[in-house]
């Protein structure tokens, strides 16, 4: 369920990036968390499905780098004012016309 929720979060945040940049400013950390954690959870899911009666040796150290990236993005979001973040998102938004 965690994997499916992360996929939903990534798709929803990507949709908000294009069509609701004001909402994306508040979801940018969740979007990054989804992009970073999806491969970790996908590996765990595949490993669980094909483990063939073996114990799983998946250390919690695999979560340190993704957690550090998410924490860094969260700290960055607190220090950059929402107005600047919104201007940044709107300036990098692709034109959907044509």
Which whole-number Å values give the CA distances from 41 to 5, 15, 16, 50, 61, in the listed order?
11, 22, 23, 14, 14
Indicate the pTM of the whole model.
0.66
What does the pLDDT look like over 28-58, one tens digit per residue? Answer: 888 888 888 888 888 888 888 887 777 767 7
Q: What is the DSSP letter of 94?
A: P
What confidence tier does 12 reach under pLDDT thresholds 50, 70, 90?
Answer: very high
Whether residue 60 lies inside any domain: the answer is yes
42 falls within a domain: yes
Report the mean per-residue pLDDT for the chain: 81
Residues 98 and 84: their CA atoms lie apart, in Å, by: 28
Total number of domains constituting the chain: 1
Residue 28 belongs to what domain range? 2-92
Confidence band for 18, pLDDT divided at 50, 70 and 90: confident
Confirm whether 51 is domain-assigned. yes
Instruction: Tell me whether residue 98 is in a domain.
Output: no
């Amino acid at each position: 369920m965690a994997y499916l929720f992360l996929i939903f979060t990534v798709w929803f945040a990507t949709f908000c990036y294009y069509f609701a940049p004001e909402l994306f400013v508040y979801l940018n950390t969740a979007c990054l968390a989804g992009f970073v954690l999806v491969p970790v959870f996908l590996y765990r899911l595949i490993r669980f499905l094909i483990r063939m009666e073996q114990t799983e040796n998946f250390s919690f150290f695999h979560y340190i780098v993704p957690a550090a990236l998410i924490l860094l993005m969260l700290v960055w979001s607190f220090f950059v004012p929402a107005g600047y973040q919104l201007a940044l998102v709107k300036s990098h938004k692709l034109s959907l016309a044509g």
